Structure formats: C-alpha cells, structure tokens
C-alpha cells in the first residue's frame, strides 16, 4: 500500500513539475525577449533614434515580464481570451510596432550606406528633399582621357586608368562586381552593353562619348 501511495505521489509531483515547466517555458521561449537587430545602422545620423530604439526594446521586454509576473498574462502565447488579456495583447502589439518602426528605419539606413549613401543623403531622402543633379566635375577629365584612344572610344583590349575608372562606375550603375583591373575585357564589354541597353543606347559594348556621359550622369545622381 505504501508503495502505491509513493508511486501516486511521484506521479502527482511529476505532473505538477511538468505543468510548472510548461508555464515557465511559455515565458522563456527563444523569442521571449526581443533582441536588437544586428543589421541596424549604429552610425545613424540621428543618435536619438538609436537611443529610442534600444529604449523601446527594453520597454517591450519589461512589459512582457510585468504582465506575466503581476497579471499572469502571457502576451506572446496567450492561453486566455478575456478582456484583460486582450487589453494586454493590444498594448504589447503597440509597443512592438514602435520597435519594428525604428528598426526598419535603422536597417534601411544601413542598407543605403552599403550602396554608398552618406548620412546627409539619407537624411535628405527621409525629409523628402531631392537634390538637383549637379554637373560632374570628372566628366570633362574623362572625355579628355577618351580622346587618347582610337576613334575616341574604349573597346575590348583597351587598357589604362580610364578603363579602371569606368569599371568602378559600371559596378555602381549596374550593382555588379566585375573586375576592376584597368583591362577592357569581354566581361567589361558585356557590362557596357548591358548598361547601354538599359539606357536606350546602341548596345555595341564600346564606350564612346555618349555612353560615357550617360554612365557618369547615372552614377552621379543615383543616390538622390
């Protein structure tokens, strides 16, 4: 009889422990605490936005803990649908929305910087300020350099500093990664042809004055 009682007690304790563990896991899953994104721009032009982002995350996580410990409400994986739970879930959603809003702003800034944008340009974009395209200072120089090549154009086999600069501009305009080595190879020819096709120019893959001007124009104004 004692053995039966002991077994029953063990089973009851086991059920209680399991039930306690389930409750504990509800508040301590992998997503219980919201973690700051690793993709945000930590050099964002407005420090207060970064501060607000981290503050919003702390407020969100504190709210989750508070509702669980004080009101016994799990806002992440709710098991009830009463008025108090609905109220808590709605407030949690509002706090989380603020976090996501700030996070998206900071992640977008980081993405733009990976494409060559500066803090000033990002700020102007957010304010809806569109800069007027300015005449490129390098275009006259590039045109002077182009004159040194036969027929005033670059084509397969051409080499030199100008080819090197053109390859960098092509990578920026096409968001590509062709070799920047100063050699007008077949790959460079194909990239030029692709650029010409995209801008209604004759796609012969040879860089003449018209293609050069359009390439400089596009890469100069592409971040505005």
Would you report the helix, strand and coil content of the chain in percent, each value rounded to 5?
65, 0, 35
Three-class SS of residue 207? strand
Percent of the chain's residues with pLDDT above 70: 80
Question: Per residue in 64-117, pLDDT tens?
Answer: 888 878 888 888 878 778 888 888 888 888 888 888 889 998 999 999 888 888
Give the residue-averaged pLDDT of 126-130. 71
CA-CA distance, 118 to 120, in Å (whole number)?
Answer: 5
CA-CA distance, 170 to 16, in Å (whole number)?
Answer: 67
Question: Per residue in 191-214, pLDDT tens?
Answer: 999 999 999 999 999 999 999 999
- Give alpha helix (H) positions in the chain: 2-27, 47-71, 83-114, 119-126, 139-146, 161-174, 186-198, 209-221
Question: Per residue in 133-160, pLDDT tens?
Answer: 455 677 888 888 888 788 888 999 998 8
Tokens standing for residue 140: 């006259």
Q: Determine the pLDDT at residue 57.
A: 92
């Amino acid at each position: 009889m004692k053995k039966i009682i002991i077994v029953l007690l063990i089973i009851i304790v086991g059920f209680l422990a399991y039930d306690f563990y389930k409750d504990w896991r509800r508040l301590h899953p992998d997503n219980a605490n919201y973690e700051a994104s690793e993709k945000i721009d930590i050099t964002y032009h407005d420090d207060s936005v970064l501060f607000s982002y981290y503050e919003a995350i702390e407020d969100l996580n504190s709210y989750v803990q508070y509702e669980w410990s004080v009101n016994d409400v799990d806002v992440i994986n709710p098991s009830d649908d009463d008025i108090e739970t609905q109220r808590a879930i709605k407030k949690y959603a509002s706090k989380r929305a603020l976090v996501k809003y700030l996070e998206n702003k900071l992640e977008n800034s980081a993405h733009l910087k990976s494409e060559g944008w500066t803090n000033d340009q990002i700020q102007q974009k957010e304010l809806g300020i569109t800069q007027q395209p300015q005449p490129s200072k390098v275009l006259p120089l590039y045109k002077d350099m182009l004159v040194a090549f036969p027929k005033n154009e670059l084509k397969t086999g051409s080499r030199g500093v100008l080819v090197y600069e053109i390859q960098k501009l092509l990578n920026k305009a096409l968001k590509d990664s062709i070799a920047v080595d100063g050699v007008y190879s077949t790959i460079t020819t194909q990239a030029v042809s692709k650029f010409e096709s995209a801008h209604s120019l004759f796609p012969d893959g040879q860089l003449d004055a018209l293609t050069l001007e359009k390439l400089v124009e596009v890469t100069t104004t592409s971040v505005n």
